[in-house]
Structure 1
């Protein structure tokens, strides 16, 4: 377990082109009456700082806002932009479209990291969800500086993270919203009468 699990910053990757959503602003899409990005920020509410990487939008007014250069250059470039603003020893790296991620899931990741360099959620098929993990900021900086590719797996996989499998149920913490159907399903599951 990290020496002080409260000492983490959250980096929310909120850029991307959302091609399968017709180019819509996916992080601002409403699920259960609030933007997707607000759900993720609430899950990381224990963070010392919340850093949002992506275009400006009228949500999360207290967040540090940065943009990858060039805009839309992909998740590795976005990670670099967000990581430049991290001050805490640990960082939660999160996609901005995870409506069922909760603070307990972030705590589980930090606890699982132990003496390792990080921890990552795995889905019910055992696949790593690279945009749902917690990492030692210093090791992540080193890995990013040495990496020349464009894949998050290429940066994060060699850090040999602990894998965290959590009960899924109807609202798994790794559920992301890439299509209109994903959004509609998440919206139905997030409504108060479904909780």
Structure 2
């Protein structure tokens, strides 16, 4: 087990397009937040930016966003002070399979880059399928402050990241659930029936 990274999960709150809190939507019998947590390897520290829930394991740390509605950069800034590992993977509950990409991304880390990030078939970077050097991310957040309302693009532009393209067999891990229709499709799609990396129930 590589313990150099932590997972920073953004729950996002209520979505206008989804109509409710996406993290509470059900996929394969689990809420999206529980699905994502269960796919993170045991022993990896987890920090969640969002409301605390009684069902969270005591090992999971939860922090509230000081700028509700301030966007994902503000959420990252809220959770990052709790990260104590060399690297952090920023994950979002509407991309429930993204944690499975972290081991792949870690193979592309080196002293020459600030992290590694997936790019989709159109060549767009996927910030919530990435892993970043924690100290560099903290420095950049200080440089672009105030963070409320800042775009992920502005944050990423300050980082030197290695871009990673997925194979055809891996692209389903980028499933992004923005609408109820997306959830239905993910639920019935055979590609959605992937095993979690922690099926034994260590979390």
Global fold match (TM > 0.5): yes
**Which residue matches 1:39?**
35
**Which residue matches 2:119?**
122
Q: 1:128 to 1:41 in 2, by over 3 A?
A: same
Q: Check the 8 A contact 2:12/2:92 in 1, yes or no.
A: no
CA distance in 2, matches of 1:191, 1:58: 31
**Which residue matches 2:199?**
none
Kindly report which structure 2 residues correspond to 1:31-70, keeping only aligned pairs within 5 A, or say none: 31-46=27-42, 48-62=44-58, 63-70=60-67
Corresponding residue to 2:97 among 74, 97, 100: 100
**TM-score normalised to structure 1 length:** 0.87
Aligned-residue Cα RMSD (Å) equals: 2.3
Kindly provide the CA deviation profile for residues 24-49 of structure 1, in whole angstroms up to 9, marking residues without a partner as x.
11012111111112232233325531
Tell me, what secondary structure is at the counterpart of 2:135? helix
**Which residue matches 2:179?**
179
Q: Any unmatched runs of 5+ in structure 2?
A: 195-203
Q: 1:89 to 1:146 in 2, by over 3 A?
A: same
Q: 1:54 to 1:162 in 2, by over 3 A?
A: same
Q: Check the 8 A contact 1:124/1:168 in 2, yes or no.
A: no
**TM-score normalised to structure 2 length:** 0.83
**Which residue matches 1:17?**
14
CA distance in 2, matches of 1:151, 1:99: 22
Kindly report which structure 2 residues correspond to 1:113-152, keeping only aligned pairs within 5 A, or say none: 113-115=109-111, 116-148=113-145, 150-152=150-152
CA distance in 2, matches of 1:14, 1:46: 20
Q: Which moved more, 1:44-53 or 1:77-86?
A: 44-53
CA distance in 2, matches of 1:98, 1:152: 16
